[in-house]
């Protein structure tokens, strides 16, 4: 999933294969962070770029870039913003919208989310002051002819009337925009444009409509359409990204695997007993990539992290997990678990691995290495189901969207061996026999895709 910013690699592919200079007028649907709009203008300065979106964040930045402004008033859960930004002009209010949008990531009822929300609230003006230079730098790079606040489908009419083409980057799941900007949407008064809720199932019909109207087009999506060959394909995230365009040039990019095979002994789940000894070792990213390519869902280009850990039971490999410092939360208090895997489904081994990843014995060396004090482990499960059976009972559900679940867990004040015995008692069955109860749930948990956060843009 990508919302707001098309992956940079995809932008490069599109610029290399789509003749925007022949279009002349480029009408962008769903400009988001204006990454594509800026790239087209930089590559083809002679092109006239017309941007579009419906979110308050993008609309306010677009207005600022065009030298316009409109009323923005914070209310309800964001009413505290008004006294915090008293005296600031429209530019300052746009920066406040940027900060409020970031706060939307911490609207959960758990302690983790509430602590972060309070921190934003207590230091809101400081965050606004820090956002202003970033806002100024972004606006300075936006060289567009016009910004239209409204339904992106209406950009097709403008493209047709001007003899130009349309580049479209619609949300990849229904209601995605509404979920992402819920806090801002419900607590800010502004002249919001009217638009229809986009259903990704309508993508084929949109392409047919553009073709029938002879409008040059470039449409980016995570869907592989049955009756069309994509112009470009990029495999560098949890889902491939495809481009469908009206020209015939083609491009395929894939990050080359960077792995080193090595010899190891896989654990026998039935042989695990209460006397088994559990340990953890750190390996390099090339060896971890090799294991992920063996045990995780095929076709995923796995993201490397900072710390790669393997879990061993009696010297045999049981699974592993990867940590990276968070990109969006408090880097001094939380770690992001990029992925975790178990080598077998039996005895709910998939629960043991993330449990061990949260124990103090594992985290303490990381604290010393990174000079931080981790209190929470955060991860994401990409699934359309309401709960992840792998994380259920050991992590707390923090946020639910249409295609992924955000989880977090406080660091356990336990040793690795203590966590192992807890897992053995709660989940693994008795007497070395596989626990047959909940077999379907375990199969689902083993097949879940863990987070590749940097590839989503969420």
Residue in the structure block whose two tokens are 């867990």: 409
Q: Give the model's confidence band at 435: pLDDT under 50 very low, under 70 low, under 90 confident, else very high.
A: very low
Range 405-427 burial, b when 16+ CB lie within 10 A, else e = bbbbbebbebebeebbebbbeeb
**Three-state DSSP state, 123:** coil
Which CATH architecture does the domain made up of 269-455 adopt? 3-Layer(aba) Sandwich (3.40)
User: Average pLDDT, whole number, for the chain?
Assistant: 85
Residue 290 is inside which H or E element, if any? helix 285-295
56-60, 147-151, 294-298: segment of lowest average pLDDT: 294-298
pLDDT in tens, 345-369: 899 999 999 999 999 999 999 988 8
CB 58 within 8 A of CB 32: yes
Distance separating alpha carbons of residues 151 and 29, to the nearest angstrom: 8
Where are the chain's structural domains?
A: 8-254, 269-455
Query: Which DSSP state fits 138?
Result: H
Residue 437 pLDDT: 41
Q: Is the pLDDT of residue 395 over 90?
A: yes
Q: How confident is the model at residue 109 (pLDDT cuts 50, 70, 90)?
A: confident
User: Is residue 235 pLDDT above 90, yes or no?
Assistant: no
pTM of the model: 0.60
Convert the pLDDT of each residue in 37-69 to its tens digit. 999 999 999 999 999 999 999 999 999 999 999
- Name the band, by pLDDT with cuts 50, 70 and 90, for residue 108: confident
pLDDT tens for residues 250-281? 455 554 457 888 899 999 999 999 999 999 99
Cα–Cα separations (whole angstroms), residue 429 to 319, 358, 451: 19, 22, 28
Question: What does the pLDDT average to over 34-39?
Answer: 93
Establish how many alpha carbons lie within 13 A of residue 152's alpha carbon, considering only the half-sphere containing its beta carbon: 26
SS3 191: coil
Specify the fold of 8-254.
Answer: Rossmann fold (3.40.50)
Where helices occur in 337-414 by DSSP H, the ranges are 349-357, 360-370
């Amino acid at each position: 999933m990508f919302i707001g910013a098309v992956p940079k690699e995809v932008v490069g592919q599109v610029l290399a294969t789509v003749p925007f200079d022949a279009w002349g007028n480029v009408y962008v649907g769903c400009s988001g962070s204006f990454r594509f709009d800026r790239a087209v203008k930089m590559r083809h300065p002679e092109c006239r770029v017309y941007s579009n979106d419906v979110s308050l964040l993008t609309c306010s930045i677009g207005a600022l870039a065009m030298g316009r402004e409109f009323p923005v008033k914070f209310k309800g859960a964001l009413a505290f913003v008004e006294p915090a930004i008293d005296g600031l002009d429209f530019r300052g209010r746009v920066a406040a919208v940027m900060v409020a949008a970031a706060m939307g990531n911490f609207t959960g009822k758990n302690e983790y989310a509430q602590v972060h929300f309070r921190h934003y609230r207590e230091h809101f003006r400081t965050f606004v002051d820090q956002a202003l230079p970033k806002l100024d730098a972004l606006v300075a790079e936006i060289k567009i002819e016009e910004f239209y606040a409204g339904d992106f489908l209406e950009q097709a009419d403008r493209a047709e009337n001007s003899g130009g083409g349309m580049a479209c980057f619609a949300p990849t799941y229904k209601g995605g925009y509404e979920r992402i900007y819920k806090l801002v949407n419900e607590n800010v008064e502004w002249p919001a444009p009217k638009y229809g809720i986009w259903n990704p199932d309508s993508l084929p019909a949109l392409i047919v409509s553009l073709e029938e109207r002879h409008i040059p087009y470039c449409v980016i999506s995570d869907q592989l359409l049955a009756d069309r060959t994509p112009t470009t394909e990029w495999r560098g995230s949890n889902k491939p990204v495809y481009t469908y365009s009206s020209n015939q040039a083609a491009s395929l990019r894939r990050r080359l695997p960077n792995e080193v095979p090595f010899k190891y002994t896989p654990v026998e789940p039935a042989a695990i007993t209460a006397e088994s000894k559990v340990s953890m070792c750190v390996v390099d990213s090339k060896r971890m990539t090799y294991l992920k390519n063996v045990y995780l869902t095929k076709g995923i280009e796995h993201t490397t992290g900072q710390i790669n850990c393997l879990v061993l039971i009696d010297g045999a490999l049981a699974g592993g997990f990867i940590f990276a410092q968070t990109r969006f939360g408090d880097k001094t208090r939380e770690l992001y678990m990029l992925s975790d895997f178990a080598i077998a489904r039996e005895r709910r081994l998939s629960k043991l691995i993330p449990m061990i990843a949260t124990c103090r014995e594992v985290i303490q060396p990381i604290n010393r290495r990174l000079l931080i004090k981790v209190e929470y482990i955060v991860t994401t499960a990409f699934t359309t189901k309401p709960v992840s059976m792998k994380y259920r009972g050991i992590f707390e559900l923090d946020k639910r969207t249409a295609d992924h679940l955000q989880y977090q867990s406080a660091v356990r004040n336990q040793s690795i061996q203590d966590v192992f015995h807890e897992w053995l008692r709660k989940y693994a069955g008795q007497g070395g026999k596989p626990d047959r109860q909940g077999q379907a749930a375990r199969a689902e948990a083993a097949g879940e895709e863990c987070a590749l956060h940097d590839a989503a843009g969420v």
